[in-house]
Structures are given as C-alpha cells and as structure tokens.
C-alpha cells in the first residue's frame, strides 16, 4: 500500500536565528520600500495592490529563508513565523511612513505628491520608542494626510482603510510563508528531498481512479501515460513533480492544468490538484523521468 509523506513537525534551532536576521535586516528594508511606494503613489486602489505585494514579499522571505533554509517541518510554526514577520514588517513600515510624514515638505495644493525623505536617526528613535510612534499615528489619524476632492480622509474612515491594508499584508504573508514546510524532508540525512518538475504530461482524465490505483500499489496505471498533443485543440495538460533522496525514497505530486480564456481572449490555466506527496517506487520514478 502506498503512503503519503507526513511532515515530522520538527523545527531546527537555526530557523530562529534566520528569523531574527530576517526581522532585523530584511523586514526593515521591505518596510522602508513599502512606505516610499505608497507615499509616492497616492492612489488608494493601487496602494492595496502594493500592500498585497508587500505581504507576498514578507511571506516569500519567511518561506525561503526561515522555513527552507531553517529546515522547518511544521506548517503551524511556519505560519507563526509568517504572521510574526507580517506584524514586524508592518511596524517598520509605520516607522518609515511616519518619518516621511514628519519630514514632508509643504504643498501649495497644485500637486498630488508631497516630496519627503526619511532621516535614519529619526527612524531609529521612532523604532525604539513605540509609545511616541503610536502617539504620532493617532495625531495623523485625527487630521489625515490625503483625501478625495480636497476633503481629508481621517478618523474612523482612515482607520478602516489602515485595517484593510494590514489584513491584506498579514493574509498574504500567512498564505505564502508555509509552502515549503509540507515538502518531503529526510530526517535521516537532514536534507530536503531533491525536487524535479517534469515536462508536461497528458491531462489526467480520471484522477480519482489514478489515486486509488496508486494507493493500492498498482503503478501500472501509468503504463500508457504520454505527453500532451502538440498543436491540438485541447491545451490541457498535467504537471508531475518528483521528490527523491539518497535513501531511494520517492514521492510524487500531480496537478492538472485546465485551460480557459481570460477577458483578453488569452489562454490561462487553473490548477487542479490530483495527488500530493504520494510514495512511489524507484522504478516508477525513473520511468516517469524517462517517459517519451
């Protein structure tokens, strides 16, 4: 009977060191970049997109540096790292953005963008004095720094916008921070399995049957597997990902890619998982790698 890979739930001590380094070096830089981006792009809808990108950047850092390099095999801990990183990144963003407000030049009302630059001495002072930081944020909330049609956005409405912005960042970081924690890891040699994305295979038409056959140990279900028809009317295909290590353990993930047309008439693909991290034999692994 085939089995599925199950993470051990262990966390390497190095992951905490990597997290501290990311929190003290990378996240302040990301926060500074984000503060400048929303300061000099004063369009609320675009700012929400930038917030999402900021959150994804935080999540990517945690997933690659803390989880992958730090060998985190616990999805729960990976998510905790992601959420903590999002709050830390937000804090440094607020430090940088408040400093931009403090150092803003005067506007005559004829321009949307008010020039400003941070002063790193002030940034350090604000970062080390959260009481003063949140006091200034409260004053900014009372009067606002931008508006619609000469009407300043402040008070409750501005608070709601800030909450939405924070939620976008936290959720994006949360979703992207834990992906690597599920991937096969060899506890014996303390290494992640080697991952190999194979060339596209034909679309799996009967995924339930394929999974049941694999679970029962019948790997002959792939005897007739082939590649997608080139130039055919049906562009659908399946993506096979192999995971292997020196102990000859092998796992397979399969994902169907179903085509659709977007609003511009271009082909896009929706991912439909078939199976994740199911154990397969060394023979099947080599067969799939060498399939014509």
pLDDT, tens digit (0-9, with 9 covering 90-100), for 34-85? 999 998 887 888 989 999 999 999 999 999 999 999 999 999 999 999 999 9
Write the burial class of residue 144 (CB in 10 Å: 0-12 exposed, 13-18 middle, 19+ buried). middle
Per-residue model confidence (pLDDT) at position 41: 87
Q: What is the pLDDT of residues 275-292, one digit of tens each?
A: 999 999 999 998 888 765
Helix 27-40 to helix 75-102 angle (10° resolution) is: 50
Which residue would you say has higher pLDDT here, 78 or 108? 78
Non-local CB neighbours of 53 within 8 Å, separated by 6+ positions: none
pLDDT reading at 147 higher than 60: no
Specify whether the CB–CB gap between 133 and 94 falls below 8 A: yes
Q: What is the mean pLDDT of residues 127-139?
A: 93
pLDDT reading at 149 higher than 70: no
pLDDT band at 107 (very low <50, low <70, confident <90, very high): low
Q: What is the pLDDT of residues 180-193, one digit of tens each?
A: 999 999 999 999 99
Helix H or strand E encompassing 201:
strand 201-202
Which residue would you say has higher pLDDT here, 177 or 156? 177
Question: Domain coordinates of the chain in residue numbers?
Answer: 13-182, 187-289
pTM of the model: 0.85
pLDDT reading at 108 higher than 50: no
CA torsion through residues 42, 45, 48, 53, sign: negative
Beta bridge pairs of residue 257:
237, 271
Q: What is the pLDDT of residues 191-216, one digit of tens each?
A: 999 999 998 999 998 899 999 999 99
| Strand pairing class (194-197; 191-192) | unpaired
pLDDT reading at 158 higher than 70: yes
Which residue would you say has higher pLDDT here, 165 or 235? 165
Q: What is the pLDDT of residues 239-273, one digit of tens each?
A: 999 999 988 899 999 999 998 888 887 888 999 99
Distance CA 29, CA 21 (A): 12
pLDDT band at 110 (very low <50, low <70, confident <90, very high): very low
């Amino acid at each position: 009977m085939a089995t599925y890979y199950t993470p051990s739930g262990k966390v390497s001590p190095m992951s905490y060191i990597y997290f501290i380094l990311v929190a003290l070096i990378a996240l302040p830089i990301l926060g500074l970049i984000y503060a400048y981006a929303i300061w000099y792009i004063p369009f609320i809808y675009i700012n929400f997109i930038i917030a999402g990108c900021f959150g994804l950047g935080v999540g990517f850092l945690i997933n690659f540096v803390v989880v992958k390099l730090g060998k985190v095999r616990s999805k729960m801990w990976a998510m905790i790292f992601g959420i903590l990183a999002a709050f830390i990144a937000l804090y440094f963003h607020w430090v940088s953005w408040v400093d931009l407000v403090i150092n803003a030049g005067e506007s005559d009302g004829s321009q949307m963008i008010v020039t400003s630059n941070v002063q790193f001495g002030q940034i350090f002072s604000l970062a080390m004095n959260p009481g003063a930081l949140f006091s200034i944020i409260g004053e900014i909330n009372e009067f606002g720094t931008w508006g619609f049609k000469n009407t300043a956005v402040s008070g409750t409405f501005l608070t709601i916008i800030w909450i939405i912005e924070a939620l976008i960042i936290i959720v994006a970081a949360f979703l992207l921070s834990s992906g690597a924690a599920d991937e096969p890891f060899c506890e014996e040699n303390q290494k992640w399995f080697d991952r190999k994305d194979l060339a596209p295979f034909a679309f799996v038409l009967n995924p339930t049957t394929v999974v049941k056959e694999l679970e029962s140990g019948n790997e002959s279900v792939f005897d007739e597997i082939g590649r997608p028809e080139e130039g055919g009317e049906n562009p659908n295909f399946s993506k096979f990902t192999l995971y292997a290590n020196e102990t000859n353990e092998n796992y397979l993930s399969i994902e169907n890619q179903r085509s659709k047309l977007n609003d511009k008439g271009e082909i896009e693909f929706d991912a439909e998982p078939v199976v994740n991290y199911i154990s397969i034999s060394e023979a099947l692994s080599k067969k799939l790698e060498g399939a014509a």
